[in-house]
Amino acid sequence: MQDKQPQPIATRPIFDTDLEPITLTSENIFDEAIFSYVKISDCTFDHDKADRITFKQAIFQKVIFSEVVFRRVDLMNVRFQNCDLSNADFSEAILHRVEFINCKLIGINLSEATMRDVTFENCNGQYALFSYGNFKQVSFLQCQLDSADFKNCVLTKVEFPDSNLRQAQFNFTKLKGIDFTSCDIEGLGANIDDVNGAVVNAIQAVSLAGLLGLIVRD
């Protein structure tokens, strides 16, 4: 009998009704606009800007967010699937039961975001900005997060199974209880106090020895 795979700690979005396919244009996107029970597919948002825009009960499929600035965006029960959000500015966002599946998130700005029950699955988040975020029950599943910025974050029940965290920066972020044993953490940046209580394997412990001022010899 095969061992059962552990379930991700983040709760997935809940869609309790049929969603209406719609087409959004720049004319529809403005500050504090609200979109609910919608499905948006195969389109591009090009340099659109809006402050405090809200999406609830929404699915985005194959959508490109090109140089989009949605500061303080509010997302609840939202799925992004096969989308490109590279370099999008979602700073100070609020995300509650949101999932990103097979998405390109290179350089996305999610700094100062508040996340509750958020899943990133098989996403490319190289150089993504998560600094000063507050995360609770957030899963990064098989993600590319090399050189991502997690500095000054509060992480509660956050997991990174099978993710690439090479050169990721966690300075001033407490990592106690976070299991990195299935991750690549070569070159991970953190302060001595930050790594106290983190869960690593023997090889990873050697790579982290430099943070403790240790010299490892064969």
Total domains in the fold of the chain = 1
pLDDT in tens, 8-29: 788 899 887 789 999 888 888 9
86: Cβ–Cβ under 8 A, 6 or more apart, which residues? 65, 104, 105, 106, 107, 108
Task: Indicate whether this model's pTM tops 0.85.
Answer: yes
Query: The domain containing residue 162 runs over which residues?
Result: 20-212
- Asked whether residue 97 is domain-assigned, the answer is yes
- Asked whether residue 13 is domain-assigned, the answer is no
Q: What is the per-residue pLDDT for 68?
A: 96
195: Cβ–Cβ under 8 A, 6 or more apart, which residues? 175, 208, 211
- Asked whether residue 202 is domain-assigned, the answer is yes
Name residues of the chain where pLDDT drops below 70.
Answer: 1-6, 210-218
| Cα separation, 101 vs 122, whole angstroms | 6
- Asked whether residue 68 is domain-assigned, the answer is yes
- Asked whether residue 15 is domain-assigned, the answer is no
| Cα separation, 114 vs 122, whole angstroms | 21
CATH of the domain at 123: 2.160.20.80
Looking up tokens 């993504």 gives 128
- Asked whether residue 189 is domain-assigned, the answer is yes
pLDDT in tens, 146-168: 999 999 999 999 999 999 999 99
- Asked whether residue 217 is domain-assigned, the answer is no
- Asked whether residue 192 is domain-assigned, the answer is yes
